[in-house]
């Protein structure tokens, strides 16, 4: 079985490729740095030749509405057309829990457009919606900072380790396409503010932290429950404290 991982040199893609290879599967890391550009189509036909499964974890180069929509539409159209030509039997794509409830954001409108493109492509597919990654707590803090104060929303979230996202994607390679959505999340729910504040405490960040129920999520107002999965979600095992013990130490080495 040959599996092509689009975005295979990034945070999630690199881990997916490593897991698949450890299982003895042929996994190809496809990205512009390896000569495969889904936006222009360059290298796609060669990369997908004899591929059984394609896993798309590539992300837009920027989060504004125009850039994101242009990326997901052009990339998706080229990739899915190449998959049809190559006879790919399963398209796995990574998306985000809450995408359909975050449509005030141009980025999430673009993600929903990507999902719709996949669903009508004719290629057997599974869309994997993941909750926010543990690794993005620093970005959430930085986005929410004005001066020396981090203002964080109190809406509930259920974040997940990137390693667990990679594990779920690798597991889905060997099962039949769902022709629908699978949600995945970490094992713990809590206020977004507490997850981010705990991260800041672990790295001894000096910024002050305040909590506001009305604060937004990357510029978008959310209702409590938007960032958590439904009752049928796959619950992955890594707990936040266990991840923090390693991540905070790694952060300290690179400060």
pLDDT tens digit at each of 255 positions of the chain: 999 999 999 999 999 999 999 999 999 999 999 999 999 999 999 999 999 999 999 999 999 999 999 999 999 999 999 999 999 999 999 999 999 999 999 999 999 999 999 999 999 999 999 999 999 999 999 989 999 999 988 999 999 999 999 999 999 999 999 999 999 999 999 999 999 999 999 999 999 899 988 777 877 888 889 999 999 999 999 999 999 998 866 654 434
Instruction: Give the torsion sign (CA, 79, 30, 182, 102).
Output: negative
Instruction: Report the distance separating Cα 147 and Cα 145, nearest Å.
Output: 6
pTM for this entry: 0.94
Beta-strand pair 190-191/156-157: antiparallel
Is the separation of the CB atoms in 166 and 17 below 8 Å? no
Q: Give first-to-last CA distance, the chain, whole Å.
A: 41
CA nearest neighbour of 210 among 188, 189, 191:
191
């Amino acid at each position: 079985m040959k599996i092509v991982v689009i975005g295979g040199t990034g945070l999630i893609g690199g881990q997916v490729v490593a897991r698949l290879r450890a299982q003895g599967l042929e996994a190809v890391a496809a990205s512009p740095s390896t000569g495969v550009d889904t936006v222009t189509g360059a290298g796609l036909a060669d990369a997908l030749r004899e591929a059984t499964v394609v896993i798309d974890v590539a992300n837009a180069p920027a989060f504004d509405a125009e850039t994101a929509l242009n990326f997901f539409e052009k990339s998706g159209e080229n990739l899915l057309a190449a998959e049809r030509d190559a006879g790919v039997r399963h398209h796995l794509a990574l998306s985000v829990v809450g995408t359909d409830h975050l449509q005030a954001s141009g980025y999430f409108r673009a993600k929903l457009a990507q999902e719709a493109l996949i669903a009508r492509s004719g290629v057997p597919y599974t869309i994997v919606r993941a909750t926010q990654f543990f690794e993005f707590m620093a970005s959430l803090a930085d986005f929410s900072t004005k001066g020396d104060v981090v203002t964080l929303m109190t809406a509930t979230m259920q974040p997940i380790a990137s390693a667990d996202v990679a594990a779920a994607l690798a597991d889905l390679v060997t099962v039949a396409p769902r022709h629908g959505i699978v949600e995945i999340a970490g094992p713990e729910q809590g206020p977004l503010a507490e997850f981010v504040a705990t991260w800041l405490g672990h790295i001894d960040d000096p910024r002050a932290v305040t909590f506001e129920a009305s604060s937004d999520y990357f510029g978008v107002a959310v209702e409590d429950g938007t960032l958590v999965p439904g009752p049928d979600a796959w619950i992955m095992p890594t707990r936040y404290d266990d991840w923090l013990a390693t991540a905070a130490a790694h952060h300290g080495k690179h400060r």
